[in-house]
Structures are given as C-alpha cells and as structure tokens.
Structure 1
Amino acid sequence: MSLFARAASFAAVTLCAGLLLGTTTPGFAQEVPSAHVSTLNALALPQVPMTPTAPDSEATQTKIQPAVVQTVQSLPQSAPAVADDQDDDDYDTLADAVADQSGALDDAEMRCLAAGVFFESKGEPLAGQLAVAKTIINRTKSGRFPKSICAVLTQAGQFSFVRGGTVPTAEGRAGWQTAVAVAKVAARDLWEGTADNALYFHARRVAPSWRATKIAAIGNHVFYR
C-alpha cells in the first residue's frame, strides 16, 4: 500500500471513532423535547381505541368453585296422614248406621226407595228392611228390570202396594223416618247384610213355585237370587 493510501485509511478510522464517541457520550447527546417524542411515538404506533373495563366486572371476578358434595341423611318416614272422616262410615251396628242418617229427602228416587221399604217391611227388623231396600236397588243394576228405583216399583205385577202405576206416599206416618234412614244406608252401602245380592223376596205366608236360589230368611220375608 502507498503512503498516500495508508494516510487516507488512518484518517477514515479516526473520523469513525470520533463519531462513535460523540453519540455515546452523555455530553454529546442531543436533548429532544418530550412533546416531540410523544408526537413521534403517536405517529409511529398504530392508534387502537381503548374500551374501558370495570375493575369489578363479573368477567374478572368469576372464579371456578370446586364441587362440593353434601351428604344428606335420609329422614325417617312419617306415618301417612289419616283423614279426619276415615271412620265416618264405620258403624258398630246396623242400628248405629240407621240412627246416623237424617230424615230429609230431596230426591225422587230415594223417596221411592223409602216407600218400598215402608210398605213392604215396616215393623220388620232393621236387617229385614235393609234386605228389602237392597233387593230393589239390585234390580236396577241387574239388566233384567228397569234401571230406576221408581220404575222397578211401578213395574206391572211386581209390588202389590203400588196402585195405578203410582208409588203412594207415607210421609208423616209412624215408621216413615226409619224407612228413610234404612233407604239411605242401603243406597250408600253403609252396611253389609245377609241378602245383599237378592233379586226377589216374598212373605213367609206364601210359597211360590220359584226356581230361584234361596239365600236368606229375615223377619217375615224370604229372599232369593
């Protein structure tokens, strides 16, 4: 290398070293106003709108709680509730059931049933009166006779106390209130008798040649199925 080239290289190295020292030494650093720096940063960075977030929002406060399994002991089974009227229809005797019925009537069918009991079995034991009432009711359900009590009584040739197809009244006569009470006991099925499935009956003083099955004899009547 020539002397001239060496001198040029040395000058270049010296100049570069001086520039480096000027930029790194605090005494040579240029002070740039802060306003200008903010402006430059604003221009250099993209502007993204900021959405305010509530510091106590549900998103930041939500925490996953560990599952808690509670052991519930089975409670002792209590006794079933007993209705207050459970024993309303339980009677010790037929007489108790009859005595518990009111004498009021507001139904034509019940009036006919009470008339049948009265005219066919007044003065009979309560069991005999009940059997008469049950026989009349059974006929309405059998399919062999009319479906209403009044029609069963007024059927031709069946009950001798019926005249002209009309059921007579016995209201106000002795024994009527008992007949009403017995009719209600039978209609409500409040007492089981020995002739509950009877369809026919006759007085003991007669002996019809029936082929029906005899099921009971109560008071002055014999009952058949």
Structure 2
Amino acid sequence: MVVAFSPVATTPALADGKHQVAYEIKTGRGRQVVQIDPNDLQCLSEALYFEARGEGLRGQQAVAEVILNRVDHPRFPKTVCGVVNQRGQFTYNKGARIREKGTFARVQKVAVAALSGAPRTLTNGATYFHARGVKPSWTKRFERTIRIGSHTFYRSDRRLASN
C-alpha cells in the first residue's frame, strides 16, 4: 500500500500528446519513482471517491482493479478516463463536487498504488461490480467472483449458460 506520494518531475508531452508525472511513492517496502498520467490519476481517484469512498481499503482496491481490468480488456476503452467516462457504466455525476478532502486523499493513495502496478488479486479478473441492494439484469450473464464490503464483483469472460 502507498503510504505517501509526491510529484517529483513532469516529462514533456509524449508522441500522443500526453504528459506523465513522476511520483515518488513511499510504501512499507521503501521508496520508488513511478510514471503516472495525471489524467488517469484524477479519473481513477474521482471514480474511487464517488463509487467506493464508504468502503474499506480492500473495497476501494477492488473497484480500482475492475477499472484497470477494463482498460486491459478488448471490449472496453483503452484508458482509465475512457473507462470511467464510458456512458452508462458508472453511476456518479461527473460534475459532482468532492466535499471530503481527507477521504479524497485516501482514495488517491489507492489510485496511485493501482496505477503503479499493484497486484490485481482481489477480484479474480472482475470487470463489473454493483452495490448491495441493487440487482442489475446483467448479473445473470456473468460469473460472480467475490463480494467485498457492499460490492459484488463479476467476471465477463466466462458467460454462464442460459436456458
């Protein structure tokens, strides 16, 4: 888990026009410098804040896993912001204000860890999740992998047989 992080340098725009920011992260195993796209960090942090701020650390990490699993999956957009902003996929209002600064700082640490290559072992490859208390129709088509906190996670690559 990331204990602290701070930007140390910004690289010039890459060929695709994107900038990367080098962050020094401090973990329980020491310090390292990682390159993270600031837009990815902002999008993932906002998604975690609005989708999982009431969850414990594992629940927030699991939601981050789903988003990054989608980035790596051929059926979803190829960027964090593309996944988070995909129409109809996440329920939060993109224009909503972040009111709890301390909570946002905590989910930002989860986002930095996830974008720095933290292992994705909590959800068993999940690409979907929903909160307890709702039962989307798509849950019948996918394999349920785990429940963490108030979220249930599903993997889309193994479709269940339907009669």
Using structure 1 for the length normalisation, give the TM-score.
0.51
The structure number with the bigger radius of gyration is: 1
The answer on 1:125 being equivalent to 2:28 is: no
More strand by share: 2
Runs of 4+ displaced beyond 4 Å: 103-106
The answer on 1:202 being equivalent to 2:130 is: yes
Aligned partners of 1:103, 1:117: CA distance in 2, in Å?
A: 19
State the partner residue of 2:148: 218
Q: Structure 1: which 5+ runs fail to align? A: 1-96
Structural RMSD (CA): 2.2
The answer on 1:110 being equivalent to 2:41 is: yes
Aligned pairs for 1:19-38 (under 5 A) are none
Aligned partners of 2:132, 2:100: CA distance in 1, in Å?
A: 28
Aligned partners of 1:149, 1:128: CA distance in 2, in Å?
A: 18
State the partner residue of 1:145: 76
Q: Structure 2: which 5+ runs fail to align? A: 8-19, 22-37, 156-163
Note the C-alpha offset of 1:134. 0.8
Aligned pairs for 1:130-209 (under 5 A) are 130-163=61-94, 168=96, 170=98, 173-209=101-137
What amino acid does structure 1 have at the position aligned with 2:2? Answer: V
Aligned partners of 1:180, 1:103: CA distance in 2, in Å?
A: 11
Deviations 1:50-69 (A, max 9, x none): xxxxxxxxxxxxxxxxxxxx
Aligned partners of 1:133, 1:201: CA distance in 2, in Å?
A: 11
Using structure 2 for the length normalisation, give the TM-score.
0.68
More relative contact order, 1 or 2 (CA 8 Å, 6+ apart): 2
Aligned partners of 1:103 and 1:181 also within 8 Å: no
Change (3 A) 1:146 1:177: same
Note the C-alpha offset of 1:186. 1.3
What amino acid does structure 1 have at the position aligned with 2:70? Answer: R
Aligned partners of 1:220, 1:118: CA distance in 2, in Å?
A: 15
